Structure 1
Amino acid sequence: MSSGARIKLYYCAEDTPGTTPSTPVWKTVRRINDGLTENVTTAKSDSVVDTRFRQGGMATESEITGTLEVELSVGLFDEFLSAVAMNDWNSDVLNFGGNTRKTFTFVKVFDDIGQVFIYRGVRFNQATISIQTTGKVSTKFNLMGTDFERASANPVTNPQPVADSVIVSALNVGALTVNGQSVVGTACLQSAELTVNNNLEAIRCIGNQKLSAQTYLEKMVDITLNTSYSFSAQSATYIDYIKTRATMPVHFEIADPKGNKYAFDFPQLEVAEANHPDGGAEDMINVSINYNHIKVSPTITRTLAKTGG
């Protein structure tokens, strides 16, 4: 029997997609769950012989996927955010929609029963950051890989431990403006969900004799920000933007008590959905405004606290 408390997840960056480096730098992942799996498709035989029994089947393809769910801490998952952005951090600024393909090897160890699952060629297709009025900031990464191996020996040696990082919540969100105006106490933001999706498509090639796709091709990057506001004179004006097609900027920051901070800037948000609000006599009325980011890259600017003397 295996316990979830005994699962360990490690990763290293790959130099060649799908190949673990000869001298990898292993790092430990702080995770809630990852859902990494190989989904194998099978096809049954339709041949008829001298009985009515099926003649068996075969594996025809596989997909290696997962959803890595984590508790956000400023600075802890910057390598993963960079992989989603397909860009490197440049002077502590990250731009999305780049062209730098980053792949990783992940090793999942079921420590109490001695099972080792290895996933190679893993790319980060999507990231979602969700903020509610209370609770932790939820973050999920969508993963897609090229190869899976169930191994008898753990290849991970001398993994770097997880940094002592502060988990952030809604209380760590500040400097929030929409159209250059504060919404605190007026439009009163109730929830926000940021999604960056590279729309990776699996490319399969006849002749490589592999069940799983060995290449993923990124398509148009979709960046959305779905929000809910208390319905007010201020938030009512946002509804008009779906017809005018004018863009509005949104800015907010996430800062922890140690002085680490992310500043999120969305300079060109275009309203995609703005349904009219309604509710019963006992309801607080909210309005949902969903945005698409267009033309230019949104950015994350990080400030990391200095440690030591």
Structure 2
Amino acid sequence: MSFADGSQVRLADVSETTPGTIPATPAFQIMRYRTSSIRLAKQVDISDEVRADRNVPGITDVGRNVSGSIETRFSYGTYDTWLERLMCSAFSTGVLKNGVTHKTGALEATYEQGATDSYVRYRGCRWNTLDLNLRSRQPVLATWGIMGIGSPTPTTAIIAGATYVPATTTEDFNAGLNVGNLSILSTAMASSPKIQAMTVRINNNLYQVDVIGQYDPYGHGLGRFEVTGNMTVLFESLAAYTAVISHEDVTIGFDLSDAAGNKYTFAIPKVKFNDGGPGMPGNGQPVVLEVPYQAFFDPTSTASISITKTGA
């Protein structure tokens, strides 16, 4: 008997023109990933009627939805479509800003099982969150949070006419060699502090909309767009701490550049440090500030965050 091996599961993606409808002859893009928890979540209603014999009267299947996350490394050109869905916008002359355009995609997982493979698909998927993690001497990691409408009946065949574009081959970014022009500035911080680790979280705060008479979700609404994160800052002076206690406006920017010269520039022009102060950690470790931050609307760029891509 052939069983599915995790190292052979193929993940493919295609954009939807009509949310919730997989294209008739999809041109799937094979995606690079580390792990995925995307699955069909089943909701049941367990009857609470009383029986004299104390048994459960029945269990009813009342609904389904799709949810989970995909963990990836981050590389140039690999996730541009996912970034556009996440930001509810599109790259324009190489610049992507957060917007309000609904964008959905479909995902297909192919499980290699010998002579007959299994195909599980998820439709109406929206990219709700992105957690970008930069840590010294480590690869830049990304976790994509996804919410979907439903999953067609699993099958043992591809969609008729489907094609598959090979995965990209650009190298992974790493926080040791590929982060450049790191800029964290305010009135108190005339020069950028040294950072051991930084996270960037983008959250659409999507919410599921259900209606009577429909088994799958009717759709998803866009909540407030939020950019938050945390920085581990070396305590080299009072500058960063002053920015915290003075509640200053802070700008954050950095580049991710690979060896071939491909580059993303992240700009978060208006940020507040929400907390943070030096501790006394004891022997054998530096004093750091753990600084949570949050972005807010910048009228000059008309966005909370922008991503500029520059090819080699």
Q: TM-score, with normalisation over the residues of structure 2?
A: 0.90
2:202 to 196, 201, 206: 196
User: What amino acid sits opposite 1:225 in the alignment?
Assistant: G
Do the aligned partners of 2:235 and 2:278 also contact (CA within 8 Å) in 1?
no
2:221 to 203, 217, 221: 217
User: What amino acid sits opposite 1:139 in the alignment?
Assistant: A
Do the aligned partners of 1:109 and 1:154 also contact (CA within 8 Å) in 2?
no
Alignment of 1:54-93 (within 5 A): 54-93=56-95
The superposition leaves residues 70-122 of structure 1 with CA deviations (integer Å, 9 ceiling, x where unpaired) of 111112111101111111001001112x1111111111110225221110000
Do the aligned partners of 2:64 and 2:150 also contact (CA within 8 Å) in 1?
no
Alignment of 1:42-61 (within 5 A): 42-49=44-51, 51-61=53-63
Displacement, 1:216? 0.6
Please say if 1:206 is aligned against 2:207. no
1-structure distance, mates of 2:54, 2:269:
65
The answer for the alignment partner of 1:7 in structure 2 is 9
The superposition leaves residues 139-169 of structure 1 with CA deviations (integer Å, 9 ceiling, x where unpaired) of 1110100011222322273201112211110
1-structure distance, mates of 2:266, 2:248:
20
Is 119-128 or 70-79 further displaced after alignment? Answer: 70-79
The answer for the alignment partner of 2:166 in structure 1 is 161
Do the aligned partners of 2:77 and 2:168 also contact (CA within 8 Å) in 1?
no
The answer for the alignment partner of 2:32 in structure 1 is 30
2-structure distance, mates of 1:24, 1:275:
52
1-structure distance, mates of 2:62, 2:266:
43
Please say if 1:228 is aligned against 2:228. no
The answer for the alignment partner of 2:151 in structure 1 is 148
Please say if 1:134 is aligned against 2:137. yes
1-structure distance, mates of 2:53, 2:139:
60
Corresponding residue SS for 2:240: helix
User: What amino acid sits opposite 1:103 in the alignment?
Assistant: T
The answer for the alignment partner of 2:272 in structure 1 is 270
The answer for the alignment partner of 2:123 in structure 1 is 120
2-structure distance, mates of 1:301, 1:122:
25
Do the aligned partners of 2:31 and 2:78 also contact (CA within 8 Å) in 1?
no
The answer for the alignment partner of 1:304 in structure 2 is 311
Corresponding residue SS for 2:53: coil
**Using a 3 Å threshold, how does the CA distance of structure 1 residues 248 and 50 change in structure 2: closer, same or farther?**
closer
Displacement, 1:283? 2.2
2-structure distance, mates of 1:283, 1:57:
55
2-structure distance, mates of 1:49, 1:216:
39
Residue identity (%)? 23
2-structure distance, mates of 1:63, 1:232:
49
The answer for the alignment partner of 1:284 in structure 2 is 286
Do the aligned partners of 1:176 and 1:182 also contact (CA within 8 Å) in 2?
no
Corresponding residue SS for 1:241: helix
Instruction: Give me the CA root mean square deviation.
Output: 1.7
2-structure distance, mates of 1:214, 1:115:
27
Say how many residue pairs are matched.
297
Alignment of 1:168-187 (within 5 A): 168-170=173-175, 171-179=177-185, 181-183=190-192, 187=193
